[in-house]
Chain A
Amino acid sequence: MKADIRVALAGNPNTGKSTLFNVLTGLNQKIGNFPGVTVDKKTGYCALPDGRTAEIIDLPGTYSLYPKSQDESIVFSVLADPSNQHKPDLVVVILDASNLKRNLLLYTQVADLKIPVIIALNMIDLADKSGIKIDIDLFAKRLGVPVVPISARSIKGIDKLKTAISYANKIALQEESIDVEAIAPHLIAQIQEDLKIDNPYFALQLAHQHETVKFLSPEENARIEMLEEQYTFNSQKAQGAETIARYAFINELLYDTVKKPETAQDESLSNKIDKVLTHKVFGFIIFFAILMFMFQAIFSWSSYPMELIADLFVWVQDKLHQLLPAGPLTSLLVDGVIAGLSGVMVFIPQIAILFAFISILEDTGYMSRVTFMMDKLMRKVGLNGKSVVPLIGGFACAVPSIMSTRTIENWKDRMITIMVTPLVTCSARLPIYTLLIALVVPNRNVWWLFNLQGLALTGMYVFSLISAVVVAFVFKLILKGRERGYFIMELPVYRMPRWNNVIYSMYERAKTFVFQAGKVIIAVSVILWVLASYAPGDRFERIDKKYQQPQYTKTLNADELNRAIASEKLESSYAGVLGHVIEPVIRPLGFDWKIGIALITSFAAREVFVGTMATIYSVNGSAEKMESVQKKMHDAKNPETGQPVFTLAVAFSLMMFYAFAMQCASTVAVVYRETKNWHWPAIQFAYMAVLAYAASFVAYNILK
């Protein structure tokens, strides 16, 4: 789509920026990357009342143009760098009307860059309700910019905002806020002259940020460095002076334009909620109860839709076997691709429910209370209150969680968080645990309300958190810190979750899972099917010949004969050979060569395990009778002993292996991307492999 005007949304965190972005662009949005840095770039399109189309860029939320994290540093680059391909024609700064003072700091900085600006005064209804009176006309006049009161949540004032965007000036007309030149007079003038910059505030920002921005040439950088020394420029002192000057301007503006109720306000609702949710005792009980509820819900709510999807796939496979002529192609499609896919599609309901919970916890503001409560505890083990979000997000997927560690300013805390996040039970492990627990743990209730299977799953989740904490502590002792950490964080007001955002996030995540995992799984399924259906040399022919001999055809019925042939064929196929090669290594863990095949394939991604199991056991089973994977695995017998393959010991040993092993190519890639050094993913892979082997070994030998 071609856009006529490019608009950037800027604002503090928790001002409803994402909600406004969703309202403006609808489903017409995509998530990409800013070039050169790993920061999510959300863009979308919006039809303006005059028929033109605006491209909207959602910039990361920030309190000022001075970045405290990688995400925030992109804001200055996009807004100020003249050569940036995303440089907007217009910036919409979103201000929380109920908290104008702090919000205006960012506005005055953006305005001083002299880009055309519009103010969207969000949550105007909440400000009204709490008795805050804003003289909007005077406010707009004093700043010299259009000010549009809106409520993004209840979709009010959006049309007026769109109109304002379409009428926006091409040149910046806003009033000066502070005397920028006074902060570092000679330095600013000299930078402006040497680098040919018109805007004094841009020059000042370059003095602060020239080491981190990507768009300066080495000569320009060296020049600024030299000038700073010449004029003895102290970045922190200058920044402090600027902030004080800006707040003086803001206080004066607010004094004239905003009237707050004089009477002492009632205790706010948020405060009342906080008294309970961050209570010494109840706080932790509630947090634990929420986690328990989440995992119970994932199990029980998803069971019906999961059965439905599983039955649907069995039906499709049955039908295809009837309709299509028997042959290698049909077999590839039905036993390879569809069998592998069905094993994954079944888990869409669980993943959707998990992401719904996580987005509700973030949206309501509860997640930052968890950060607040856990900081001291987390610091003891070398983490940081802010590590809680990646760790809890790790329940969903380690990949976005590792990306979200960018909010942790301290290098050591961030590295440790990255190293331990993949230990947390992610949604890709969920299918494996569900399957194995359903196989060996009886489905009944204990103490009336706790389902035994649910408890076993909760146990696996708790265990993963404990192991993450222990490993973090070990890393804390090994790693050397580089700088001091700090923890200054806004506690946003509690809000009802925006159901639209929750649904967006569920849809988005389930879609990503299906497409990302689906691609790998189809590829792996096809390779597996080939490996399992062909054998080196003429082994298959010899097996066929062997079973044509009368001692077999006379003693076995047709069904038994087919089964015996299929089983022997699988064992002598390429896949069987591969499985047998690693069998000696995994035998002490209780795994046979079939599980070995699944272990090898799941090093691409864990969720492949279920698909692999489905493929291996369909190839092995009779083609006419389609069964779910669980049934197939349940019926699997050890050919030597006649005992079931999946005993309690084997199932738990397998779960331990999956709990620790780094079986996810995407995580390895993202850790490299975030740490910019191959050491980190290599160390992580190695320590996790060692732990996986040890834990499986212990589990198998205890339960055997």
Chain B
Amino acid sequence: MKLSQLLAGQKGIVKEFTDLEMSVKLMEMGCLPGEEVCVERIAPLGDPIAINVAGYSLSLRKREASTIILQ
């Protein structure tokens, strides 16, 4: 299951990343393996999405979210 497949309001736990470059940036922002992420909302035009991670809101594009694999 990828993060990009979640609907607004759904939760998941980060398992791993499929893209090294992206993973470094995401981990810096507190989005690490084992961390719970929750899709808060999806932008009016369907992309990007806003997720809640480590207690704050982070927005990222669907393509970027698809590099995050959930447990």
Residues of A within 8 A of B (CB): 63-64, 66, 68, 98-99, 101-102, 105, 236-237, 239-240, 243-244, 247, 270-271, 274-275, 278-281, 283-284, 368, 371-373, 375-377, 385, 486-493
Q: How far is the CB of A69 from chain B (nearest CB, A)?
A: 12
The 6 closest A-B pairs by CB, nearest first: A491-B57, A376-B45, A102-B30, A243-B27, A280-B44, A376-B47
**Known interface pairs A101-B55, A236-B24. Does A376 touch B43 (Cβ–Cβ under 8 Å)?**
yes
Q: Considering residues B20, B23, B30, B64, which has the most beta carbons from chain A within 10 angstroms of its beta carbon?
A: B30
- Kindly list chain B residues whose C-beta atoms are within 8 Å of the C-beta of A99: 54-56
Q: Offer 7 A-B interface pairs, CB within 8 angstroms, sorted by A.
A: A101-B55, A102-B55, A244-B33, A274-B40, A368-B59, A385-B48, A490-B58
Q: Which of B28, B44, B48 has the most chain A CB atoms closer than 10 A to its own CB?
A: B28
Question: Given A63-B28, A375-B48, does the pair A240, B23 have CB atoms closer than 8 Å?
Answer: yes
A382 to chain B, nearest CB (A): 15
Q: Given contacts A236-B24, A278-B44, A486-B22, are A372 and B50 in contact (CB under 8 A)?
A: yes
CA of A492 to CA of B56 in the docked complex: distance in angstroms? Answer: 8
Contact pick for A247, options B32, B46, B59, B64, CB 8 Å = B32
Q: Which chain A positions have C-beta within 8 A of B55?
A: 98-99, 101-102
A577 → chain B closest CB, angstroms: 56
Q: Please name all residues of chain A whose beta carbon is closer than 8 Å to the beta carbon of B57 when the two chains form the complex.
A: 270, 490-493
Q: Name the one of B25, B47, B56, B58 contacting A375, with C-beta atoms under 8 angstroms.
A: B47
Does the CB pair B43–A373 fall under 8 Å? yes
Task: Write out the residue numbers on chain B whose beta carbons fall within 8 Å of the beta carbon of A284.
Answer: 44
Whether the pair B27, A375 counts as a contact (CB closer than 8 A) is no
A278 to B20 Cα, complex, angstroms:
31
- Distance between Cα atoms of A105 and B30 in the complex (Å): 9
Question: In the complex the two chains form, is A101's CB within 8 Å of B54's CB?
Answer: yes
- For residue B60, CB closer than 8 A to chain A, the reply is yes
Identify A243's interface contact among B28, B43, B44, CB under 8 A.
B28
Q: Which residue of A lies closest to B40 (CB)?
A: A271
Chain B contacts for A486, CB-based, 8 A: 22, 25, 60-61, 64
* Most chain A C-beta atoms within 10 Å of own C-beta, residue among B20, B27, B60: B27
CB distance from A115 to the nearest CB of B (A): 21
Q: Which residues of B contact A102 (CB under 8 A)?
A: 29-30, 54-56
Residues of chain B touching chain A, judged by Cβ–Cβ distance below 8 Å, are 20-30, 32-33, 40-41, 43-48, 50, 54-61, 64
The minimal Cβ–Cβ distance linking A57 to chain B, given in whole angstroms, is 23
Report the separation of the CA atoms of residues A490 and B48 in the bound assembly, to the nearest whole angstrom. 12
B64 & A239 in contact (Cβ 8 Å cutoff): no
Residue in B28, B40, B47, B48 whose CB lies within 8 Å of A105: B28
- Kindly list chain B residues whose C-beta atoms are within 8 Å of the C-beta of A490: 29, 56-59
B58 CB, min distance to chain A CBs, angstroms: 6
Chain A residue nearest to B33 in the complex (CB): A244
- Give every chain B residue within 8 A of A491 (Cβ-Cβ): 50, 56-59
B41 lies within 8 A of A278 (CB): yes
| Interface pair A487/B48, CB less than 8 Å apart | yes
- Given A237-B20, A247-B32, A486-B22: A377 and B45 within 8 A (CB)? yes
Cα A244 to Cα B55 with chains together (Å)? 18
**Known contacts A375-B48, A377-B45; is-contact A488 B40 (Cβ 8 Å):** no
Query: Can you add 4 more A-B contacts, CB < 8 Å, to A63-B29, A66-B24, A236-B24?
Result: A102-B30, A281-B44, A486-B22, A491-B59
With A and B bound together, what is the CA distance between A275 and B45 in angstroms?
14
- Least distance between B37 CB and chain A CB atoms (Å): 13
Nearest chain-B residue to A279 (Cβ)? Answer: B44
CB distance from A267 to the nearest CB of B (A): 10
| Minimum distance in angstroms from B71 CB to a CB of chain A | 17
Across the interface, name the chain A residue whose C-beta is closest to B20.
A236
Alpha-carbon distance A279/B42, docked complex (angstroms): 9
Q: Which residues of A contact B64 (CB under 8 A)?
A: 486-488
In the complex, how many angstroms separate the beta carbon of B3 from the nearest chain A beta carbon? 12
- Contacts of A371 on B, CB cut-off 8 Å? 59
- Taken together as a complex, chains A and B put the C-alpha atoms of A244 and B27 apart, in Å, by 8
Residue numbers in A under 8 Å from B40 (CB-CB):
271, 274
Task: Please name all residues of chain B whose beta carbon is closer than 8 Å to the beta carbon of A488 when the two chains form the complex.
Answer: 25-26, 29, 58-60, 64
Q: How far is it, in angstroms, between the C-alpha of A372 and the C-alpha of B43 when the chains are bound?
A: 7
- Contact partner of B27 (CB less than 8 A), chosen from A98, A240, A278, A377, is A240
Q: Give the CA-CA distance A243 to B20 in the complex, in Å.
A: 13
Find chain A residues with CB under 8 A from B27 CB: 240, 243-244, 247
Residues of B contacting A283 with CB < 8 Å? Answer: 44
